[in-house]
Amino acid sequence: MATAKGKFLQEFNEAFIRGNKEIVLTSVTDDIKWNMVGEDEIRGKDEFERAFQEMPREGKTELNIKTIITHGITAAVEGTIHTTNDLEEKKVYAFCETYRFNKFKDGRIKEMTSYIIGMKPEDQTE
């Protein structure tokens, strides 16, 4: 049975992939910190919104969540993102994100760390 925080993270990740700005922005605190490993850290809701809006969203994107782990004010989500652009070129990315919430119950995301790795074509089957 999924926990409330697990359901929240499922919905957050689905909204993020779909580009649903309203759900994504109401899910984070004003002082959000987002570390996309290998990129500059994003600090504050304004920077977060700007980065979110600049994310490429063309073609078809499918999210497959494999694991959601929650414990207290921390959580992790692991899965894959499958993209197909308008030229029918397919790419698959494996991801793992860790989260820290501002409070235990009904909290919003205060910190995110994202690990995203493009997979080689031969490793793209699930």
Please tell me the predicted confidence (pLDDT) of residue 107. 94
Where do we find the tokens 């929240």? 8
Please tell me the predicted confidence (pLDDT) of residue 117. 95
User: Phi and psi of 54, rounded to 5°?
Assistant: -85, -5
Percent of the chain predicted with pLDDT > 70: 94
According to DSSP, the β-strands at 74-84 and 60-71 are antiparallel
Distance CA 86, CA 82 (A): 14
Please tell me the predicted confidence (pLDDT) of residue 123. 63
Distance CA 53, CA 49 (A): 6
Residues 6+ apart with CB under 8 A from 72: 104
Q: What is the pLDDT of residues 80-97, one digit of tens each?
A: 999 988 888 899 999 999
**In the chain, domain spans:** 4-123
Residue 52 has pLDDT above 90, yes or no: yes
Mean pLDDT of 101-126: 86
Distance CA 104, CA 78 (A): 21
Mean pLDDT of 56-78: 93
Confidence of residue 126 (pLDDT cuts 50, 70, 90): low
What is the pTM assigned to this prediction? 0.90
Please tell me the predicted confidence (pLDDT) of residue 17. 94
Tell me the chain's radius of gyration from C-alpha atoms.
15
User: Phi and psi of 58, rounded to 5°?
Assistant: -120, 150
For residue 1, CA distances in Å to 4, 6, 68, 77 come to: 10, 9, 12, 16
Residue 34 has pLDDT above 90, yes or no: yes
Distance CA 83, CA 88 (A): 9
Residue 98 has pLDDT above 90, yes or no: yes
- Helix (H/G/I), strand (E/B), else coil: 54: helix
* Domain 4-123 grouped into CATH 3.40.228.10: no
What mean pLDDT value characterizes the chain? Answer: 92
